Structure 1
Amino acid sequence: MAFHHVRFPINIALGARGGPQWSTDIVSLVSGAEERNTRWSRSRRKYNAGYGVKSAADMHHILAFFEERRGRFHGFLFRDPLDFQTSQDMVTPFDQDLGFSDGSQTEFQLSKQYGSTYDPYFRPLTKPVVGSVRVAMNGTELTAGTDFTVDATTGLISFTSAPASGASLTAGCTFDVPVRFDIDHLDVELSSFDAGIIPSIPLIEILT
């Protein structure tokens, strides 16, 4: 298997439904109380892209995309229509914390924080959009290609030289979700578009 660094058609992705999923075990006690345990340390996103298919032309596009991915075999990029950048507005180099430098570390993982008060969740961003990553140190924006580089396949930021100890590092970007088809059989009936029947095209996030 391989990961194809190609994006699922955005015009179809915009109509998709889905979002993050967690796996929680709940045990009900005799007293009526309950114990809860989460199995995963990271959430996993699931989508149904069938809701974005509006025409036979869209379906032909998906058919070709599905065949080239060999069904569930190869992964690809997906633009989440709701959650695709590090801020709700324009991306800035101050959107998310990368951390504080220890004076020797040169690589930092892009991530996005959800929540802030009780138990914030930090989601690694492994598929930033090339050219969208902005980085700042101590409130001053740095220059991509000169001060740092970004690996678009992992989301790792590499500084040309280690930032000074105690330096505050921040970043912002647009990003995609690494996914695969969750089916090996694409069930399509062209006449169904006139009847308003939506094909099922499930996608699932690839976690690494």
Structure 2
Amino acid sequence: MASFHEVSFPFRVSNGSSGGPERKTEIVDLNDGREERNASWSNSRRKYNVTKGLRTADDLYDLHVFFEERRGRLYGFRFKDITDFQSTRPGQKPTALDQPIGTGDGATKSFQLVKVYGAKFAPWTRKITKPVAGSVSVAVGGGDRSSGWTVDATTGLLTFDAAPANGVAITAGFEFDVPVRFNSDTLDATLASWRAGTLPDIELIEIRL
């Protein structure tokens, strides 16, 4: 999309960031003391604060450059969430069996990369649109498939040369980035304020693609 730059936020800054998923729930108190809860969003949206990642004057300068090239909130970009950036748990190596992404029907060639959270009560499926190039592995019917497919690193769409057979499970492992933008058109961060330890919050917010 024209309003997205396929470029990564400086990792040494993101490595010190904080943040995570946000959901929007409406709660109505009933007359008998009970409550009704309704989800306003079907999917979560992530927010990050990158201020604590600014450790040096060079970091601050690089942030200014990155902010200006993105024109503030105008252009989105990639962000590595160090708490959740791959198809498996932190500290484990992704494998082609990590995430179920579809079942073959003998006709469909393209499947969207996804990550499933939870299993027993109400698992949530997250669409992965920004896989890291070269990190994706694929299995068909439990067997690794090293060729015969391509993945679009800008959309997360996996496409096979030939449609997988009917009933065959398709799984994948990968690393991924979060599509985000700056949450303000103002970057109120100066070298003097950084040295004084008084930088304001610098927020990034997930873009739903």
User: Shorter-normalised TM-score: what interval?
Assistant: over 0.9
CA contact (8 A) 2:87 2:175 kept: yes
From 82, 93, 98, give the equivalent of 2:96.
93
| TM superposition score normalised by structure 2 | 0.96
Matched residues, number: 206
Write the deviation string for residues 160-182 of structure 1: whole angstroms up to 9, x where unpaired. Answer: 00001111110010000000001
Tell me the SS of whatever aligns to 1:191: helix
Written as runs of structure 1 = structure 2, the 5 A alignment for 1:155-174 is 155-174=156-175
Structure 1: 4+ residue segments shifted above 4 A: none
Equivalent residue for 2:9? Answer: 8
Equivalent residue for 1:109? Answer: 112
Equivalent residue for 2:132? Answer: 129
Tell me the SS of whatever aligns to 1:193: helix
Equivalent AA in structure 2 for residue 183 of structure 1: S
Equivalent residue for 2:59? Answer: 58
Equivalent residue for 1:25? Answer: 26
Equivalent residue for 1:178? Answer: 179
CA contact (8 A) 2:106 2:166 kept: yes
CA contact (8 A) 1:21 1:44 kept: yes
- Backbone CA RMSD of aligned residues: 1.0
Unaligned stretches of 5+ in structure 1?
none
Equivalent residue for 2:49? Answer: 48
Equivalent AA in structure 2 for residue 168 of structure 1: A
| TM superposition score normalised by structure 1 | 0.96
CA contact (8 A) 1:102 1:164 kept: yes
Equivalent residue for 2:76? Answer: 75
CA contact (8 A) 2:189 2:199 kept: no
Unaligned stretches of 5+ in structure 2?
none
